[in-house]
Every structure is written in structure tokens, then in C-alpha cells.
Amino acid sequence: TETINFISAVDGRKYQTTVVLYQSAVKLSGRYSWNLYQLIKSRLLDKSGAFSIKLDELMIELNSRVNLEFKDYKKSVIGRSIDEIVEKTEIKSIKCVNAERQGRRVSKVRFEIEMR
């Protein structure tokens, strides 16, 4: 299968790249799906199958600065992206769980990924 390298660092890390399957890359058409797929592939370099990320950082990575409550954000942005990624790529399942709270607000989420 053909792979492509893309520059995945937008925060000053010079020339950091991530390898993704070309077929997976061209299939994703959702507004936030490609960005979430890139994030997952770049964070799963250690093969642990899971990673945590601050909610603010996730919104920046997905380029999704929307003014929604977390439950609505999780459903409309994260949920739709997960559904498309699982349907069209080599990723078998993705779970997004609340990892940490500050008061009553979710401040960090954890993604648990299983590959095909």
C-alpha cells in the first residue's frame, strides 16, 4: 500500500512528519475528520493505543473553535469524525472518554484506539 508523509507540526517543531496510508487520506471528507485522523496517527507513535489531550489543545488541533457545551461538541465534532474515520480507514474503533475535569467542566479527553 502507498503511504504519504505530511508535516504534522504546526507549533514550532521543525519538520516533524507522520506517515499515513494514502487510501485513508483521500477518503476522509468530513470537516474535522482529516485533522482528527492526523492527530491520532501522530500521537500513536508509541503503539500504546491510547493518548490524552487537553480539550483546548484538541480544539486547536481540529481547527474547531466552536462555542458549544462539551456534550454537544463531543457529539457533533468528535463523534461524527470518529464515525467517518472508523468507516473509511484502517482504524477499527475509537473511544473518546472524559479523562479529567476542572470543577464541572471537562478539561481533558482520552482517545482509545484499536487498529484493524
**Domains of the chain by start residue, with CATH:** 28-115 (1.10.10.10)
pLDDT over 60 at 8, yes or no: no
pLDDT at 108: 96
Q: Please answer whether residues 79 and 45 qualify as being in contact, where contact means their C-beta atoms are separated by less than 8 angstroms.
A: no
pLDDT at 16: 54
pLDDT at 99: 87
pLDDT at 14: 52
Encode pLDDT of 28-43 as tens digits: 888 899 899 889 988 8
Look up the pTM and report it. 0.78
**Dihedral-angle region of residue 41 (phi above 0 means left; psi in -120 to 50 means alpha; beta otherwise):** alpha
